Amino acid sequence: MRIARFSLNESPRYAFVQEDQSDGKDYLVELDGYPLGPGTVKPTGKRYALDAEGVRLLAPVIPSKVFGLAKNYEAHAQFMHEAGHSEVAHAPEDMWIFTKPSTSVIGLDDPIVIPPYSHDMNFEPEVAVVMGRIAKNVTENEAMDYVLGFTCVNDVTLRDLQGGDPMWTRAKGFDTSCPLGPWIQTDLNWADAKISFTLNGEDVPEASGTTAGLIHSIPQQIAAISSFSTLLPGDVILTGTPNASGHLDPGDEAVVHVEGIGSLRNIVVRG
């Protein structure tokens, strides 16, 4: 199931995304209710084509908090070392966890804005986990029971600030640094989800990978984070970028692809 958040020239709404077998097109089936809450959710009877005039997909969720895992793939840790961004040649044994504020979140086709104080913005394509239930001190075995679904994310990073920003607050938490979308996919082979990236229509093979290469698995991440911070419905975990990252310039089209979810497209602009 795909759950989308959208607007139609007014306030945000939620919908299921369903394919109409008669024409092969995707439609938004509007919902009455909040799919991340305890109440009943049911269709309103209204539906809209994804490409209908005035329909705009929004970030599928506005989380109370976003957690991310750094260097959670060995290939990315080695890339960071070889590129001169890290003195450590391999991934750390323990999890490196950082946060992004809710104000960093944007959606499909929203602009990624390079702050005026940065000159080296990087893309990092990843799978994001969206929590569906309150989770505190959950075990690895039960962790996935608390997940609503998954979405694409671009963990945009200001690489030139990261080295002098030990908490990565500006480097990873600036406005527009967390594009999410296009929707929440509830059914996904999360243990082996294929990630890829295209820049200006060209595939970037060195940025691709699969969650099968995660050092700390998704259940391990949920268990570890919930041990110190209560995860609320709609909270998001960025699971890590699988391989190389790369530079973004104004005018670039950045597209994150996750097999089984879809594609997240954003254009880069200078602030």
* pLDDT tens sequence across 182-218: 999 999 999 999 999 999 999 999 999 999 999 999 9
Of residues 91 and 96, the one with the higher pLDDT is 96
Between CA 112 and CA 248 the distance in angstroms is 10
Section 175-181 average pLDDT: 98
Cα torsion 202, 207, 209, 211: sign: negative
Question: What would the two tokens of residue 76 be?
Answer: 């990315």
Q: What is the pTM of this model?
A: 0.95
Mean pLDDT of 40-58: 94
Q: Does the pLDDT of residue 81 top 70, yes or no?
A: no
- What's the CA dihedral at 197, 167, 159, 178 to 10 degrees? 30
Rounded distance between C-alpha atoms, residue 127 and residue 190, angstroms: 9
Placement of tokens 């940025």 in the chain:
207
Q: What is the pLDDT of residue 145?
A: 98
- pLDDT mean over 133-155: 98
